[in-house]
Amino acid sequence: MAFNGSLDTRLGRTDAWRDSLLVDHAVFRTVWTNFAEVIPGRLYRSNHPTPGHLAAASRRLGLRTLVNLRGQRKCGSDALSRAAAARLGLVHVDMAFESRGAPHRDRILRFADIYRTLQTPALMHCKSGADRAGLASGLAIMFEGGTAAEALRQLSWRFGHWRRARTGVLDAFFLRYAAEAEGRLPFMEWVRTEYDEVALKRDFVAGGLASFINDRVLQRE
């Protein structure tokens, strides 16, 4: 039975867990997480946390905000993490990014606005904690005055990121800033005035085999 979007009944909660564990692959996330600190004491990242993992992280770190990089979705994992955040008294923020397209200027600017007023400590998550979480973490480092090289460390094998797959366009984004403007223009000024997402998408070439494994075999989002 597909998840109906509601946790108001016992059947709805059962459907949510079934959908989360089996359809959204949370069965793997119950035993494995790629949780990591991004900005010391203030910002963390992970794959989509189960309610138990979120509660444990909240107790340990004193979390105040959960940032959902998947955007609002009608799936069990989304409903369960929203309900868990509410029980824990966390602010829940939706900030959808793409993992296989050139980052959109308007979404970067929106995330910058969110970041300025974020109640910290905060935890950011996507599904696998590899690509969109890596992009958002890299952006946060840039917002804090870091370098493109530091941002790129957030997109690595350690988190399950495939640079040679279509998700490598995220690496290409930071590499383009490093090549075109780092040391000449502050990052956000470059984003606002010079960044060309159409050109980045046109110029990036992904590896076919890596993309097949990442998208079809692993069924990454």
DSSP summary character for residue 44:
E
| One-letter amino acid for residue 79 of the chain | A
In this prediction, residues 66-78 reach a mean pLDDT of 93
Q: In Å, how far are 105, 106, 165, 170 from 132, measured between CA atoms?
A: 15, 15, 14, 9
Map out the domains of the chain as residue ranges. Answer: 10-217
Give the span between the Cα atoms of 47 and 32, in whole angstroms: 9
- Give the residue from 39, 77, 35, 78 showing the smallest Cα distance to 58: 35
Residue 12 has pLDDT above 90, yes or no: no
93-136 pLDDT tens trace:
999 999 879 999 999 999 999 999 999 999 999 999 999 999 99
- In this prediction the pTM is 0.90
- The answer to whether domain 10-217 has CATH 3.90.190.10 is yes
